[in-house]
Chain A
Amino acid sequence: MNEPTEKEIEFLQNLRNRPDKDPDREFVNRLQRQLIQPSTKKRPKFIPIAVTSLAFMTFLAVIFLFFNQPPSGVPLVLVESIDKKEAIENTPQDGIMIFEQEQAKILLEVPYGEGSNEIGMPQKRPGGSDRAVESFYVKDDVFYLLDNAARKVIVTTPKGYLFTIQLDDSEDGKWYRDIFVDDDDNIYVLDSSYYKGVSKFSPGGELLEVFPIKADMMDPNAVVVNERNEILVHDVRPLMENLMTGEITRTRTAFEKDGIIAQVVRKDEQIEVINIEEAGNEQKITVPFDHTTGGIRILDIRSDQIIFEKTEVADTHKIMAEFHVYVIDKEGNVLGAVKEPHEESAYYSTHSLRMVDDKIFYLSAGADSVVIFELIPGKQFEKKLQDRIDEFLNE
């Protein structure tokens, strides 16, 4: 019937004669190393910070519930009013506040559904491209959610839904990957598909212009608008295109702001070094890892604070990772940190962490809804990776 004949199969087998059909050994080894972190060392016993923190948090939460009404949103840790005064007093002039205890406050929750104020259903198939929320932006308490599944931008606030921008869905394979809002509230949406470009919308959602991206930018994944109103598109590779001039430059730095240039260099599996060039001075800050490094991404540098996302990867054959946002001073001392609440994420958005002005926002794409948290670093913060490793090793 519809089964292939032996001759058809035989003919197709000719493709196997191609001389380059096997992967290069070097590539295989490199990828294997990337995926596998062989366990070679004994780890010190876990100090139960989490247990202590939990007891402390519970105690404070009980006090808070007795004496206060819950604030808007649903804070996971109800300690804000207690140490806010101290946090304000101890915050350097242009730094971000660090509380006694880390906090992850839920600011917004949007369910999946077909309504204009609901997120399109995410694709359930692993590896599929229709991850629903690919990126988000927060400006002046207005949330912009880029919904790649339903090809739209939802503009909403914790107090109520505002409006939806329907994006172009005329071509198959559109992939909306990032969103940015400029100082004048214009909205920029990056389409990273074959038809790649940046669409600029007015603050009210009217399409103003579409800026094409050059073919050399093969995998664009981020859009920003600088202080000169130039639209800059970053590629997964270290390339950046200025859409105003069409110039493509090789981005050599991990972070650049106000004359400060910072790069992150991996020293070994447990140490990353942040190199900072500022006013002709060079400074090296060593960042140790408890397990093995999954990388550092600098979010901002202030006069005496460096704020970055740190990924710890378990040194076991089972892949486990944990993400924190750290704040350190320029001597390398940890001022505070906050753990990203990624446990409930059903899939990972391209951009799940944003720092806008002094606030850090985290998007968790859960199975039933999309939640945006505000992350507030604390002097005390949880680390759960060792618990998960111990649990795995005891299985």
Chain B
Amino acid sequence: MNEKPLHISELFNQFHRDVYHFALYFTNNKQDAEDITQETFLKAMKNLHQLKDPQKVKTWILSIARFTAVDWIRKQKLRRLFTITASTVTHEEDMNSRRVIGEENWKDLQQALLKLKPHYRSVIIMRGLNELSVKETAEALQCSEGKVRVDFHRAIQELKKDDSLKERWESYE
């Protein structure tokens, strides 16, 4: 019982970028990502006493972020989410062709990601972008490691089927 108590300030400093990234990739909307991040940390603050194992704090907070994001969509954003475009993002033209290809890829990839069902989207973001291990992803999604492996595989296959990504996948393979 001599463990140092976890403070919300530490939690925020360590993980606000992870939570924000998760929310941004999940919604493709900056305002929504901010709202989800805020709600996630407010929930974490209220529930910090429930965190039994401080070693699992990252998956715990991402688990809250994921529930919050799913709720967010359910509650209010579904219609807008499917019509939103990436055109709100402005950036300078880069003459480096590899970089340009990369930027095109992120837009199409983001759009394709939004078409996946929320669970697949969460698996892709946590495993592929937040770089959680299979075990950590399973903890955050509260499912078995086997399910994470299978669902990640299926989610990737879904992405590969997306018309806007087919050619690029082939160039990678």
B75 touches A194 (CB 8 A): yes
Chain B min CB distance to A386 (Å): 18
Q: Mark B2-24, 1 if CB is under 8 A from A, else 0.
A: 00010111001000110011001
Docked complex: A333-360 residues within 8 A CB-CB of B: 348
Q: How far is the CA of A34 from the CA of B99 in the complex (A)?
A: 38
Q: How far is the CA of A36 from the CA of B43 in the complex (A)?
A: 14
A residues 157-197 near B (Cβ < 8 Å) are 172-173, 175, 192-194, 196
Q: Is B68 an interface residue (CB 8 A)?
A: yes
Judged by a CB distance under 8 angstroms, whether B55 is at the interface is no
Chain A, interface SS category: loop
- For the complex, count residues of A whose C-beta is within 8 A of B: 49
Count of inter-chain pairs, beta carbons less than 8 A = 151
Tell me if A63 is interfacial: C-beta within 8 Å of chain B. Answer: no
Tell me how far the C-beta of B9 lies from the nearest C-beta in chain A, rounded to whole angstroms.
Answer: 5
A203 to chain B: closest CB distance in Å?
A: 29
Task: State the CA gap A264–B50 with chains docked (Å).
Answer: 33
Tell me the A7-66 residues at the B interface (CB within 8 Å): 7-24, 27-28, 31-32, 34-36
Q: Are the CB atoms of A125 and B63 closer together than 8 Å?
A: yes
B106→A28 contact, CB < 8 A: no
Nearest chain A CB to B122 CB, angstrom units: 13
Asked if A127 and B47 make an inter-chain contact with CB atoms under 8 angstroms apart, the answer reads: yes
A395 to B172 Cα, complex, angstroms? 56
Rounded to whole angstroms, the CA-CA distance of A196 and B129 in the bound complex is 33
B109 within 8 A of A: yes
* Chain B CB within 8 A of A228 CB: no
- Which B residues are closer than 8 A to A by beta carbons? 5, 7-9, 12, 16-17, 20-21, 24-25, 30, 33-34, 37-38, 40-48, 50, 60, 63-68, 71, 73-79, 89, 91, 99, 102-103, 105-107, 109-110, 113, 124, 127-129, 142, 149-150, 152-153, 156, 168-169, 172-173
Q: Which residues of A contact B (CB under 8 A)?
A: 1-4, 7-24, 27-28, 31-32, 34-36, 125-129, 172-173, 175, 192-194, 196, 215, 218-219, 317-319, 348, 395
- Please name 14 further chain A to chain B contacts, defined as beta carbons within 8 Å, in addition to the given A17-B103, A127-B64, A395-B5, sorted by A numbering: A2-B150, A4-B127, A4-B128, A15-B110, A17-B102, A18-B24, A20-B30, A27-B34, A28-B16, A31-B41, A35-B12, A36-B12, A127-B44, A215-B79
